[in-house]
Amino acid sequence: MTEHPLLDLAGASIGYDREPVLRQADLAIRRGEFWGILGYNGSGKTTLVKTLLGLLPCLKGRRKGRPLRCGYVPQKEKLDPIYPLTVSAVVAMGAWRGLDPFGLRSTDRLPSLVSRALEEAGALELADAPFSSLSGGQRQRVLVARGLVGEPELLVLDEPLAGIDIATQESLLALFRTFKERGLTALMVSHRVSAEKGLFTHVAWLEAGMIESGPAERMFSEGRVSQVFKAEL
């Protein structure tokens, strides 16, 4: 029996203010899959992810899926370094779920969860450092730790390799491969195709308002994304 998708878009038009960015989007994400959401800048990748997560309603069609415990790793440039936060404080935010204004439900587990997530992301030694003092690669690792700290069912990585040197990219890719090996369901948004090719089990290619999706093996051997992949190589 095929397992029900965690998230499912069927015949969906998605966009902002009644202006569709993508039309007729079909996408079903199942447990254990590692999706690459690929496309050029402005193709609607972030809009698709926001719709999948239920942050944007579909303009047409439907989105199905129960509420998930999501870990979100934003683009590091979106976070302003003016905030006087330590790395541990930034990571702890990933575990702030629901309404708990007085911190009544924060338990003794939080520090150990934060340490574990930092260790997993290879950033434990940064725990007490100010977030603003980190390099781009370090900041990205800390944000990955924040995505992991809430023990997510789905991890969403938004352009995690953008603006990072090659060596750090390689070590982050190695980290993401461990997520894939242990069966963590993940979505990774990227505007490149070649670097992360081996990471994905499935790929969605976004171009000119349309979406083409399927298993990575097939997508990289045929269709539009294979042409882009060959051109990038």
Partner 1 sequence: MSPSLLLEVLRPDFLLRNALYGCMTVGLVCPLVGVYFLLRRMVFWGVALPQVSAAGLSLAFLLQGLGVGWLAGTEPGERHLAIMGSAALTAAAILALVLLERRKAGFGEGRLGALYAASAGLCLLFVSWNPHGETAMLGLLKGEIVAISGHDLGILCGAFAVVAACFLAFQREFLLVSFDRDTAEILGRKVLLWEGLLYALIGVTVSLGVMTAGPLVIFGFLVLPAMAALPWARGIMSLSLLASLTGGASAFIGFLLSYAFDLPLGPVAVCLAAASLGLSSLLRLALHRR
Q: Interface with partner 1 by CB under 8 A: which residues?
A: 50, 53, 55, 67, 70, 72, 74, 78-80, 82-86, 89, 93-94, 96-98, 100-103, 130, 146, 150, 156
How far apart are CB 124 and partner 1 at their closest, in Å? 19
> What Cα–Cα distance (Å) separates residue 20 from each residue in 14, 60, 150?
5, 9, 33
- Cβ atoms of 65 and 6 within 8 Å: the answer is yes
How far apart are CB 3 and partner 1 at their closest, in Å? 23
How far apart are CB 120 and partner 1 at their closest, in Å? 18
Sheet holding 7-16, edge to edge: 19-29, 7-16, 60-64
State which residue, 140 or 228, has the beta carbon closest to partner 1.
Answer: 140
State which residue, 99 or 233, has the beta carbon closest to partner 1.
Answer: 99
State which residue, 19 or 102, has the beta carbon closest to partner 1.
Answer: 102
Tokens of 187: 């979505």
State which residue, 79 or 210, has the beta carbon closest to partner 1.
Answer: 79
Cα-flanking dihedrals φ and ψ of residue 212, to 5°?
Answer: -125, 125
How far apart are CB 230 and partner 1 at their closest, in Å? 34
> What Cα–Cα distance (Å) separates residue 142 from each residue in 12, 79, 109, 181, 221?
34, 12, 19, 21, 35
